[in-house]
Amino acid sequence: DTQTILKSVRKTGRLLVVHDSPEFGGYGAEVVSTVVSDLQCLSSLRVPPKRLCGKELPIPFAIELEQVMIPSKEEVIASVRSLF
C-alpha cells in the first residue's frame, strides 16, 4: 500500500525495507525509489533509506541453509536501531 508507506515515512523520517529477495533488482529497490521520488518524503527523511535483503543466492531447500539466507530477527533489530 504505497500511500501508507509514504505517510509513515513523512511521519517518522525513516524507511527500512526488509525482504528475502536479493538486494539488486528486488522489490525493496522499488519501494525506496517510490519514496525518494516523492519530494515531501525525500525532504522528510532524517537518515538514508535502508534495505535488509536476502543473500545473493537461490533460496536453499534445507532449513539450516535457509535460515542463513533470509534476514534474521537479530538483523532486523540491528537495522532498525541503525536508523536512530
| pLDDT tens for each residue of 14-69 | 999 999 888 888 889 999 999 999 999 999 999 999 999 988 888 788 888 888 88
Show contacts of 78-82: CB within 8 Å, 24+ apart.
79/16, 79/18, 79/50, 79/52, 80/16, 82/50
The three-state secondary structure class of 65 is helix
Please give the model's pTM, rounded to 2 decimal places.
0.82
CATH architecture, domain 2-82: 3-Layer(aba) Sandwich (3.40)
Per-domain residue ranges of the chain: 2-82
